[in-house]
């Protein structure tokens, strides 16, 4: 029997992403502050359609907006780990990465009574140590890499790039990778950002973007008996009025296509029925 899962995930960065980039003047901070408005709108929409989702929340957002984060928990959504300060792990040494991993997980534990099962790297940029650290801290899955579009896979650890530029693959681990894509992320489509001499143009027409998001799900349904597509949204981005309209339209259209909306931990657990953990195969 075919089974096509759709995970709506929300990176509740609020101001943390701007602060991590050193953009701390009032206007960029206010852009992040709009995330609190967007989060409330999203929670209302998800409740309307009885959809459970996954929210990746940095530790600093948890301590800045504890009431909204509790609303996420009370509504039955999953809380995933998204760093402490939204600094990409690739910019941290191993000790600092481990410390921030623990500090944010402690904040999640205080919020909902258990540690996170899933991790998403700030800016989707893992360090050479991240997979090992996630395994040491008993994470079930990561959602930061792009090696497939609609099929989870096992993350590797210890890949080596040779001096000639070829890659020697490291060991396959039990960590489940729930792949992502910039094409299924609202931020690059919609956000206008000037940073030094670089510009992210953003400001795409929302309904044209919606077609991309729908068509990737249609492709999965046509070519796979089982699959999971992960959408990545940011409350300060998708929470704008005209974008909330296409988010609702996405939900209705995927429902008509037979989508099963689920949390990422449930999708990762479902994946283990198809490909058991390495230890279970021994």
pLDDT, tens digit, 9 for 90 and up, residues 46-102? 999 999 999 999 999 999 999 999 999 999 999 999 999 999 999 999 999 999 999
**How far is 110 from 104, CA to CA, in rounded Å?**
10
Q: What is the pLDDT of residues 17-33, one digit of tens each?
A: 889 888 899 998 999 99
Q: Is the pLDDT of residue 16 over 80?
A: yes
- What pLDDT does residue 199 have? 84
Q: What is the pLDDT of residues 89-105, one digit of tens each?
A: 999 999 999 999 999 99
The verdict on residue 171 lying in a domain is yes
Residues 200, 184, 44, 248, Cα dihedral to 10°:
100
The token duo for 6 is 């759709």
Confirm if 78 and 36 have CB atoms less than 8 A apart. Answer: no
The verdict on residue 270 lying in a domain is yes
pLDDT bracket for residue 282 (50, 70, 90): very low
Confirm if 10 and 42 have CB atoms less than 8 A apart. Answer: yes
CATH of the domain at 113: 3.20.20.370
The verdict on residue 191 lying in a domain is yes
**How far is 109 from 105, CA to CA, in rounded Å?**
6
Cβ-Cβ contacts under 8 Å for 241 (sequence gap 6 or more): none
The verdict on residue 265 lying in a domain is yes
Residue 239 belongs to domain spanning: 3-277
The verdict on residue 169 lying in a domain is yes
Max Cα-Cα span within the chain: 56
- What pLDDT does residue 200 have? 86
- What pLDDT does residue 278 have? 67
The verdict on residue 13 lying in a domain is yes
**How far is 48 from 231, CA to CA, in rounded Å?**
19
Looking at the 3D structure of the chain, how many domains does it have?
Answer: 1
The verdict on residue 60 lying in a domain is yes
Question: Average of pLDDT values for 25-43?
Answer: 95
Which helix (H) or strand (E) covers residue 23, if one does? none
* Residue 130 C-alpha from the chain's centroid: 16
Alpha helices in 169-278 (DSSP H): 186-190, 206-223, 235-238, 241-256, 264-274
Question: Average of pLDDT values for 166-193?
Answer: 95
**What's 240's DSSP letter?**
S
The verdict on residue 282 lying in a domain is no
Helix axes 26-48, 66-74, angle to 10 degrees: 20
């Amino acid at each position: 029997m075919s089974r096509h899962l759709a995970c709506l995930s929300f990176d509740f960065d609020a101001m943390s992403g701007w602060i991590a980039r050193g953009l701390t003047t009032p206007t960029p901070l206010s852009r992040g502050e709009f995330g609190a408005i967007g989060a409330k709108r999203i929670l209302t929409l998800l409740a309307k359609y009885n959809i459970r989702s996954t929210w990746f929340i940095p530790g600093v957002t948890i301590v800045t907006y504890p009431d909204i984060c509790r609303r996420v928990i009370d509504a039955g959504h999953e809380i995933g780990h998204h760093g402490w300060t939204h600094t990409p792990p690739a910019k941290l040494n191993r000790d600092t990465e481990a410390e921030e991993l623990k500090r944010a997980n402690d904040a999640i534990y205080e919020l909902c009574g258990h540690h996170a099962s899933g991790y998403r790297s700030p800016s989707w940029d893992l360090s050479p140590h991240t997979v090992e650290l996630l395994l040491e801290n008993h994470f079930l899955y990561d959602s930061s890499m792009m090696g497939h579009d609609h099929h989870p896979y096992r993350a590797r650890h210890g890949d080596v790039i040779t001096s000639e530029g070829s890659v020697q693959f490291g060991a396959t681990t039990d960590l489940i990778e729930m792949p992502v894509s910039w094409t299924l992320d609202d931020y690059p489509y919609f956000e206008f950002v000037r940073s030094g001499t670089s510009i992210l143009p953003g400001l795409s027409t929302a309904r044209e973007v919606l077609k991309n998001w729908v068509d990737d799900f249609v492709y999965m349904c046509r070519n796979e008996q089982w699959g999971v597509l992960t959408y990545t949204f940011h409350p300060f981005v998708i929470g704008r009025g005209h974008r909330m309209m296409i988010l609702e339209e996405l939900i209705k259209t995927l429902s008509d296509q037979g989508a099963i909306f689920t949390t990422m931990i449930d999708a990762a657990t479902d994946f283990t029925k198809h490909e058991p953990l390495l230890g279970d195969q021994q």
